[in-house]
Amino acid sequence: MNTSLQEINSFIQTAVQGIPLIDDALQKLLYYAEKGATCTCKGQNPDTNGQERKSYNLGQDVFYQYLQFTTAPLSDSSPGDIVVITDDGHVACLNHVNASMKIYDTDGSHVGTIPLERESWDMTVVNNSAVAVTLPDFCCIDIFDIHNEQIVKSIQLTTMCFGITTLKNTLVVGCDRRTLIIDPQTTKVENTIDTGDYSPTRLCCFNGDIFYTVGTQCHDLFHYSHFNKNISKVQLPSRSLSMTTLQDGSVYVICDDSSVQHVSSDGKKYKRVTTKGLRSLGSTGGINYNPEQKKLVVTGDSITVFNEY
């Protein structure tokens, strides 16, 4: 009898201690409901590293312009350049015409230049110090250490490769009528996604879902759902040049009509971005968002860095 009473007393005390936690959760839900936003609890999304993830309305002002710079090493840049920003704040800009990769700090200072021996197509961040570049004509992916300015690994494929992005610890590569999921450490192909008659030329990912475009004249943005394995598409006002995923899973797409379109995370709706510095970009090709830095970087005739509100 004494043991049973002790167990009941312990249960009551545990329940009472849990009341503040329940109240805190209810207050948080009420706060987000009043703001008209969606609450994503910590730990639910592995890509946020324990941070709460915001949810945006399409077209809302998410960023403000922080810095714009054009330096001598970039003066030979051409529209269509690809840009990425690493977790430690380095900006890498891929120049197709001059076959080189230029490295900057986000304050605009030029860190270094890596000459490329082969013609590249796309680039993505692998980790703080490494970026991966696709080389379609050679059916391979080169991984460079941007700190040491040298190639550290080359992944040979059996097919041409075009667009590339990163999903967690894997590379997502657009190839001839399929997308490959590759472990950059072992170079093993972990999964293959059939994309029909289309070859993904630009990609971005979030929580297993993949957005991609095909060809240079197509206005469609495709969405592969990791949940049901279905592929859907939405037609944009003009063809896309580059894209990046924001922290809520929605996508910024640069189109060749100089606009940035904000596409919903399910790939069904979009709205033009009117943020200063993004409403009319001119001859701009590359865009990339880094959730660790909370920065957006856009490149073309110059490099523009945006901070998140």
Please report where in the chains the tokens 């030029």 appear, as a residue.
110
92 phi and psi angles, rounded to 5 deg: -110, 130
pLDDT at position 25 is 46
Give the integer Cα–Cα distance in Å for 204 and 46.
Answer: 17
pLDDT at position 98 is 76
pLDDT at position 140 is 95
Give the integer Cα–Cα distance in Å for 246 and 305.
Answer: 15
H-type helices in the chain, by residue range? 2-35
pLDDT at position 200 is 95
CATH number of 63-308: 2.120.10.30
- Give the contacts of 59 (CB within 8 A, at least 6 positions apart): 262, 271, 272, 273, 274
Contact call for residues 128 and 92 (beta carbons, < 8 A) = no
Mean pLDDT by 10 residues, the chain (309 residues): 55 48 45 40 36 80 92 50 91 84 90 88 93 94 94 95 94 96 95 93 95 87 94 94 95 93 96 93 84 92 91
Give the integer Cα–Cα distance in Å for 16 and 21.
Answer: 10
Give the integer Cα–Cα distance in Å for 164 and 161.
Answer: 8
pLDDT, tens digit, 9 for 90 and up, residues 275-305 = 999 988 876 779 999 999 999 999 877 899 9
Contact call for residues 284 and 277 (beta carbons, < 8 A) = no
- Going by the DSSP 8-state scheme, the letter that residue 87 receives in this structure is T
pLDDT at position 54 is 76
CA atoms within 13 A on the CB side of 97: 9
**Domain boundaries along the sequence of the chain:** 2-36, 63-308
pLDDT at position 2 is 56
Distances (CA, A) of 251 to 17, 104, 154, 254, 266: 42, 25, 29, 10, 10
pLDDT, tens digit, 9 for 90 and up, residues 183-240 = 999 999 999 999 988 899 999 999 999 999 997 778 999 999 999 999 999 999 999 8
